[in-house]
Amino acid sequence: MMLSQPALGEIVNVRSRQYLVEHATSIVEANADTIVRLACLDDDAQGELLEVLWEREIDAKIVGQSSWSTVAQRGFDVAQSFSAYLNAQRWNCVTSTDTTLFQAPYRAGIQVKAYQLEPLRKALRMPRVSLFIADDVGLGKTIEAGLILRELLLRQKVQRVVVACPPSVVRQWQDEMAERFGLMFTIVDRPYLAKCRRERGYSTNPWTTHTRFIISHALLRDETYAAPLRDWLRDFTPGSMLILDEAHNAAPASGSKYAVDSQFTQVTRQIVKRFEHKLFLSATPHNGHSNSFAALLEMLDPQRFCRGVPIKGAAGRTLLDSVMVRRLKRDLREIDSGDFPDRQILPIYISNLPDDAPELVLARLLQDYRRHRNERLKAASKSSRRAGILVVISLQKRLLSSVEAFARTLAVHRKAIERQDIRARQSDLQEEDLDLLINLPTCDDDRAELNEEEVEAEADLQMAKASTHSDRPSEIERELLEQMGEIANQARHEIDGKLHSLLEWIRENLCPKLGQPDAKWNDRRVLIFTEYADTKRYLLQRLSEAIAGSDRAEGRIETYHGGMNDDRREAVQQAFNRHPHEHPLRILIATDAAREGVNLQNHCADLFHFDIPWNPSRMEQRNGRIDRKLQRAKVVRCHYFVLTQRPEDKVLETLVRKTGTIQRELGSLSPVLDRELSARLQEGIETEQVEQMSLAIAQVETPETIQEELECVRPEIKKLRQQEEELQAMLKNPSSG
CA separation (Å) from 404 to 237, 531, 558?
A: 56, 13, 19
Taking 50 as the threshold, does the pLDDT of residue 598 lie above it? yes
Percent of the chain topping pLDDT 70? 89
pLDDT-based confidence at 424, cuts 50/70/90?
very low
CB-based contact 182:231 (threshold 8 Å): no
Give the pLDDT confidence score for residue 596 in this predicted structure. Answer: 59
CA separation (Å) from 708 to 666, 702, 703?
A: 13, 11, 9
Give the pLDDT confidence score for residue 737 in this predicted structure. Answer: 46
Cα separation, 90 vs 599, whole angstroms: 37
Q: List the one residue out of 252, 246, 256 whose CA is nearest residue 295.
A: 252
Give the pLDDT confidence score for residue 422 in this predicted structure. Answer: 43
* Domain limits, the chain: 11-70, 97-326+721-736, 342-351+496-701, 367-491
Give the pLDDT confidence score for residue 101 in this predicted structure. Answer: 78
pLDDT-based confidence at 469, cuts 50/70/90?
confident
Dihedral pair phi/psi, residue 129, rounded to 5°: -70, 120
Taking 80 as the threshold, does the pLDDT of residue 673 lie above it? no
Taking 80 as the threshold, does the pLDDT of residue 579 lie above it? yes
- Supply the pTM of this predicted model: 0.77
The listed range with the strongest mean pLDDT (242-256, 282-296, 493-507, 701-715) is 493-507
CA 287 to chain centroid: 18
- Mean pLDDT, range 693-715, rounded to an integer: 83
Which of 3.30.70.80, 1.10.3720.10, 3.40.50.10810, 3.30.420.40 is the CATH number of 97-326+721-736? 3.40.50.10810
Give the pLDDT confidence score for residue 44 in this predicted structure. Answer: 65
For the beta carbon of residue 182, count every other beta carbon within 10 angstroms: 11
Cα separation, 376 vs 478, whole angstroms: 13
- Mean pLDDT, range 4-20, rounded to an integer: 87
pLDDT-based confidence at 694, cuts 50/70/90?
very high
Cα separation, 84 vs 270, whole angstroms: 48
Give the pLDDT confidence score for residue 431 in this predicted structure. Answer: 61
Least confident of 210-214, 299-303, 439-443: 439-443
**Residue type at position 10:** E
The listed range with the strongest mean pLDDT (281-290, 536-545, 626-635, 693-702) is 536-545
CB-based contact 386:469 (threshold 8 Å): no
Residues sharing a CB contact under 8 Å with residue 204, sequence separation 6 or more, in sequence order? 196, 197
Taking 50 as the threshold, does the pLDDT of residue 340 lie above it? yes
Residues sharing a CB contact under 8 Å with residue 161, sequence separation 6 or more, in sequence order? 149, 185, 211, 212, 213, 240, 241, 242, 243
Taking 50 as the threshold, does the pLDDT of residue 426 lie above it? no
pLDDT-based confidence at 595, cuts 50/70/90?
low
Q: List the one residue out of 606, 622, 376, 601 whose CA is nearest residue 480.
A: 376
CA atoms within 13 A on the CB side of 285: 31
* Phi-psi domain of 255 (left: phi exceeds 0; alpha: psi -120 through 50; beta: other): alpha
- Mean pLDDT, range 63-85, rounded to an integer: 72
Return the bridge partners of 640, or none.
Answer: 347, 609
CB-based contact 109:596 (threshold 8 Å): no
Burial of 74 (0-12, 13-18, 19+ CB in 10 A): exposed
- Mean pLDDT, range 126-153, rounded to an integer: 92
CB-based contact 589:551 (threshold 8 Å): no
Give the pLDDT confidence score for residue 55 in this predicted structure. Answer: 85
Cα separation, 597 vs 621, whole angstroms: 10
Taking 50 as the threshold, does the pLDDT of residue 143 lie above it? yes
Number of helical H runs and strand E runs in the chain: 28, 18
Cα separation, 467 vs 457, whole angstroms: 15
CB-based contact 95:155 (threshold 8 Å): yes
Which alpha helices (DSSP H) does 427-515 contain, by range?
452-467, 475-491, 497-509
CB-based contact 383:426 (threshold 8 Å): no
Q: What is the DSSP string of 289-314?
A: -HHHHHHHHHHH-TTT--TTS---HH
Which alpha helices (DSSP H) does 222-380 contain, by range?
223-233, 263-272, 290-300, 313-323, 329-335, 358-376
* CATH homologous superfamily of 342-351+496-701: P-loop containing nucleotide triphosphate hydrolases (3.40.50.300)
Least confident of 246-255, 324-333, 512-521: 246-255
Taking 50 as the threshold, does the pLDDT of residue 177 lie above it? yes
Q: List the one residue out of 701, 690, 623, 619 whose CA is nearest residue 654.
A: 690
- Mean pLDDT, range 578-605, rounded to an integer: 85
The dihedral of CA 429, 431, 436, 442: what is its sign? negative
- Mean pLDDT, range 108-132, rounded to an integer: 90
DSSP H or E segment with residue 345:
strand 342-350
pLDDT mean across residues, the chain: 86
CA 133 to chain centroid: 14
Each residue's pLDDT tens digit, 263-293: 899 999 999 999 999 999 998 888 878 888 8
Cα separation, 113 vs 340, whole angstroms: 12
Taking 80 as the threshold, does the pLDDT of residue 522 lie above it? yes
Looking only at the bridges linking them, the beta strands covering 587-590 and 49-53 are unpaired
- Mean pLDDT, range 612-623, rounded to an integer: 87
Give the pLDDT confidence score for residue 137 in this predicted structure. Answer: 81
Q: What is the DSSP string of 413-437?
A: HHHHHHT--HHHHHS---GGGGGGG
**Residue type at position 563:** G
Dihedral pair phi/psi, residue 545, rounded to 5°: -65, -40
Q: What is the DSSP letter of 553?
A: G
| 716 or 357, greater pLDDT | 357
Least confident of 480-489, 618-627, 669-678: 669-678
Q: Please, what's the largest Cα pairwise distance for the chain?
A: 116
The listed range with the strongest mean pLDDT (113-127, 426-440, 654-668) is 113-127
Angle at 243 between CA 241 and CA 244, to 5 degrees: 135
pLDDT-based confidence at 472, cuts 50/70/90?
confident
Angle between helices 141-154 and 170-181 (to 10 degrees): 50
CATH topology agreement for domains 97-326+721-736 and 342-351+496-701 = yes
CB-based contact 444:525 (threshold 8 Å): no
